Every structure is written in C-alpha cells, then in structure tokens.
Structure 1
Amino acid sequence: MARKLNDIKSDVDEKRFLFHQFFYKNIDADIEIFISHLEKLTKVFIFSGIIRDFFVFKNQKPFRDIDLIIEEDLVLEEIFPALDFKKNSFGGYKIKFKTVDIDLWVIKKTWALNQGQLKFKFDYLNALPKTTFFNFSSILFSLETKEFITGKDFLRFLRDKKIELVLKENPYPELCIVNSFYYSDKLQLDMGDKLKSYLKSNYTSKMNVESIQLKHFGKILYSDEYIRNKIEEMFTN
C-alpha cells in the first residue's frame, strides 16, 4: 500500500537536524564563513540538489555545487568584493570557491515568480516549491530555523520513486530535456507521464542539445540522435 504523504513528511522533518549537521560537515571553512556572513544580512535557504541527494543516496558527497536562495535583494559585489562572481540575466549569482561553486538566487527573482507564471502576492517562500521544473527539487531548507519547507511534489517523489514535472514553463527547454535524461540515469529512476509528455511536446530536431551539454556539463553526454530515439521509444513501446 502506498504510504501517506503526511507520514513521508514526518519522516522528512525528523531528519532536519541530521541534514544540517551533514551540510556543515561537508563544506570548507571559506564557504561556512561566507554563509555565516550572509545570514547576518538575510535569511538563507538551501535548495535543490544537495537535499535531493541526501534523501536519495543517503548523505552522498562531495557536493557538485551548492544552491542557495536568499530573502533580501543584496548587492553581493559590494558586500563581498574579493569573491569571484558571475551574474546571470535573471539576477542570480555563480560564486566560485576553491572546491565547489555556489549558485545563489534572490527568492523574488527566481524565474517563475519573477515572470509571473504563478500569481503569488504573499508567501514567496512556500510558493517556491511549486515553481520547480522537477519534483525532486520541490523542497528548501532554512538555515535559520533548521526546517524543511516541503512541497507535495517532493513527497510524491519519495513515495513514487519517479522523476516528474511540476511547472512546465521554463526559459531553458533544451536544458530541461537533457537534464531529464541525466537525472533519470543518475538517480536510476523512471520518468513520470507528465514529464514524458513535456519531452514529446517540446523536443524538436532544430534543438542543439549537444551544444547545451557542452555549456552546462563541459562535455556531451547524449547525442541528438540518442535523445530523439529515446523520446520516440517512450511512445511506441
């Protein structure tokens, strides 16, 4: 019998202190100092991959990158002038440290909320889990309160053991398509029906998925032909 979402949420909440310890145990001192300084200025939340891998792989490390979200719209170049920053067109930062990069976003500037895909006028924080592309990203962790802010889609991910679509609107459909295959392989999990339909509806032969992989991963993981054939197989088998 499928577990109830409330029971899964209780299990997730029980691991909040364990996750907090795990995170700080596996970051270098320079990152810890940066986060500590940041917390004096705004609320800071961990987002996406580290939380997913904590629950799926049981404390996997090292971190590929660290995704942070902050509440206040700070000008980090002025506050941390010595750090190596790169700013993207949506107002987010990529900050290079010795061992790992930090991707940092201001909560109100995350793409879906900023573009008005979801019409939330009040609680940005609890709205955010509803704006992710994948269900396994539908969760945040507050470093201030040491609590998870969990979307139902993340709970369904843990229950169903499938990668599924949450919000289809996204500025980078090519990357979403590539990442669907990447995470299906990495997590060894099947894709859900909504995600498969997204792939079928959004993939076109004009896309250069190899180019987007070179930019994102630094190498080609899947050829155009491989992705095209895999999508066709989803609806012929």
Structure 2
Amino acid sequence: MYQEYFDIKKEFYNHFHNQMTNENIMPFFYEIFVHGTAYVVGGYFRDFINKKKSRDIDIIVDVKNDLLIETIENYKFNYKINRHGGIKLTHNNIEIDIWNIDNNWAFKNNLVKLNEEDKLNSIAKGCFYNYDALVINLHNFSYSLRFYNEFIESKKLNILQERSIYKNLNPTTEANILRAFFLKDNFNISFSENTFYYLSNKIGALQDKFGENYFNRLIEVKDNYPKYQSLTPEKLKMYLIELKTNDLPNNQTLLNL
C-alpha cells in the first residue's frame, strides 16, 4: 500500500504547513489549535496521498462555533455560512469548508456515535462514501485510511452506514447520486449493494418528486459542481440505464429516460 513508501505524518505536516504558510493562513490554524483540535477530511488528504495538488480543504474542528466564527472575523477572512451550518472561507488561492463538529450532520442528528476518546475514527465513520473517508488530525497527525484503503482494494464504492435513517437524512441526495456516477466514470468501479439500493431508491424518489423533469434536475445540480463536468448528460443517462438493468436482486426502480 502507498503508505509503506513514505512517512505520511511527516510528509503531510510539511505539505500542509508549507502551503498554509504560503497562503498566509497558518496563524489562523495556530489560534484554532489553542482552543481545540482540527481534522482534515476527504479530498485534500486524498490528493496528498496521490501526489496531486489541491486548493480545496474540508476541515472539522472541535471548537465552539461562536469562537470559530469570531476567530475567522478577527482575521478578516471572507466567509459565508451555508444553510447546513458549514462555513466556506476563501483566502488568497485556497478555499476551506469548515464544520464545527457539533454541526456535522451525522453527529448533530445522532446518526453516528461520537467517541470522545477516538474522534478521529468517529469522523471517518461519519463520512458518507468510503472514497471520502480519509481523516488526519492536524495536532498530532494521526490518521485513518481504513475505509479509503477498502475502496482502493475492492474498487467498490460503499456507503459506510447501513441504517436507512442515516442515508435518508443526508442533505445532499442529488450530489451523492452524481458523485457515485462520476467516480464510476473515472475509476471504473462497481457499487456495493448498500450503495446500489441507495441510488435506486433515491432516483426513484426524484422521479416521484420531479416527474419527467428528474433528469433535468440532476443536470441542474451537476452544473453547480465544476468538478463533475466530465460527467456529460450522455454519460449520466448511460449510467442511469446501467443501474436500472443491473442484476442485483430486488431492483424494482423504473427509470423513464
């Protein structure tokens, strides 16, 4: 596995520290560290592992939300708070999505147990897809790669939680559907049964809600995600048909394309 070839803790420390120093944002993180812990989740850590550049960072902080916002304002950063409580901070050439751990949807709704003694792995388990479940602690640089390694080894996209309430309460249904097909298109992966049934059910729910316009709804959402632009309407339609004709049991989704 890739981590055998280099010291992840040391290399990531240098990578993160150098980039944040160049972006003149490291003092902000030092102040956050005075009050709590911060964890990098998902793509930025994955890009580092795979030797790719990244300008977007997702971070979960174990700091009270009022203090977090106050700290951001003290540094006069440009930021917005989205409808789910996340904070998008833009500074120089970097964009950072920051979540207070209490506002993370999985913990906020008690869908994933937050183990106070092992927040690192709790955060990993709270990620939706195994592909995105990489977490590294910015204090001691301990990390969790278990679920991402499973994705790499199996080439299978899996939703980490089995419970229906977890999947139904996830607030980004259309984005989850698009992400699954985007990853399939880029990595030639398959879907676990858990993922397959989720996609089938949610596409069916979109049909119920939008009728014949459900495909246009997916295209509309896709246009808000520049990284998904390689997933053309033709490809998306192909993967929807493929999902319909998959031979997994109990596939009763009707896709009127």
Normalised-by-shorter TM-score class: 0.7 to 0.9
Residue in 2 that maps onto 1:77: 69
Greater relative CO (CA pairs within 8 A, separation 6+): 1
Contact 2:78 2:90 (8 Å CA) reproduced: yes
Deviation at 1:123, TM superposition (A): 4.7
Contact 1:108 1:124 in 2 (8 A): no
Paired amino acid for 2:103 = K
Identity of aligned residues (%): 22
Change (3 A) 1:85 1:166: same
SS at match of 2:110: coil
**Which consecutive residues of structure 1, in runs of 5 or more, have no partner in the other structure?**
1-7
Larger % of helix: which? Answer: 2
- The verdict on how the C-alpha distance between 1:148 and 1:119 changes in structure 2, with shifts beyond 3 A counting, is closer
Q: Sort the Cα spacing of 1:185 and 1:33 in 2 relative to 1 into closer, same or farther, 3 A.
A: farther
CA contact under 8 A between 1:77 and 1:85: conserved in structure 2?
no
1:96 to 90, 93, 107: 90
Give the gaps of 5 or more residues in structure 2: 162-166, 247-257
Matched position secondary structure for 1:66: strand
Are the structure 2 counterparts of residues 137 and 222 from structure 1 closer, same or farther at C-alpha, using a change threshold of 3 Å? closer
Post-superposition Cα deviations, 1:171-223, rounded to whole Å, max 9, x if no partner, equal: 1110101111223344x241322323322221133331122122333985545
Q: Which residue of 2 aligns with 1:178?
A: 178
The answer for the alignment partner of 1:4 in structure 2 is none
Q: Match of 2:9?
A: 16
TM-score by length of 2: 0.75
Aligned residue pairs total 225
- Summarize the Cα distance change of 1:222–1:136 in structure 2 as closer, same or farther, 3 Å threshold: closer
Distance 1:89 1:111, change over 3 A: same
Q: Which amino acid aligns with 2:70?
A: E
Assess if the C-alpha contact under 8 Å between 1:163 and 1:189 holds in 2.
no
Q: Deviations over 1:35-67 (max 9, x none)?
A: 222222221111110112233x3x211x14011
Matched, 1:67 2:66: no
Cα RMSD, aligned residues only = 2.8
Against the structure 1 CA distance between its residues 225 and 34, is the aligned structure 2 distance closer, same or farther, given a 3 Å change threshold?
same
User: Residue in 2 aligned with 1:191?
Assistant: 190
